Structure 1
């Protein structure tokens, strides 16, 4: 069994917290792991937001016992969480699972450039808060016979598909970043683009989403 040696207990705790948040939205969540050298990228897709969440984890060494220097596998998020040993700063990689469709289509590894127009972190968090309040207020005002799943989804699509500031980033991406605790007070945030992909990057993780209307152009299928 492949054992990942994480850089320290903090990295192990952060990985466990990220997996727990993904499982909060989907108890059967899968994650794709990609590692090379001492860097591990963990990709997940919380279904409520229709985005890719990416958590970077530092490794103390690639793998134990001289195993391969690269790793690329899709596994159960729950099984991976159960294998995390925070005190030892290790995680055992579970057996591979049949990956969901999103796991075969990931953002590119390079070619990212900065996008202008993103609000400051506090303004970005305030924009997310206002969108959440609007959604709650509008749904609460619905008459009981109109409070259907279709109507709730319609209101949600209208609000979360709006763009942030002077950027093409949908509000749902910033909402996902805040819900997964990537977006935190006082911490920097940047918006990057590569082909059809947009990436909201923070020190705690990234949210990636494809821009509407650009199809699969430039997508990395691995």
Structure 2
């Protein structure tokens, strides 16, 4: 617990925010698993702040895109916003802030890798944004969001933002049935300097998809992409 408090202090220094009500920050960093295990805290967790932060984030990003890209049509702005505020993007920002190390989390959730789970990290960033909005106002919340999401917006516009299909697939299966994923390289073709790999992804011993790539990582990503397509999630 002492280490988490130290991590939170480092986060405060990084954010440069002088809180009027620091309890809002602590609440934003309280995962539901910790609140459930710590009954003395009255079951308070960050889910309500996440709800608020999600709305603030959509407003801030929508306004920024509207003002910054006047030549973009409504449909283009909608797609751009969706790419920016999606779970992988928010989880990436949360990792940059090291929010995972700052979370009050139940022991079971922590043992299962909760501090690195994209959905938890994305929710934590939205909760933090909600807390900043309540404590500091919309201007401060806008600054926090755009400071960290600005580079992502540029990446999306310039086509440098790649989907992490493996993480997406893992998240979906955890929500649906909790199945564990395994990847296997089935084939290697070509000379050492120009190999092509074929990978397959399995869940519960059942093959879900195959993919090919110039590296094992790329082949696994393509296998996950195929599995998502079969499940109806990949675009």
Q: TM-score range by the shorter chain?
A: under 0.3
Task: Answer with 1 or 2: which has the greater Rg.
Answer: 2
Answer 1 or 2: which has greater helix percent: 2
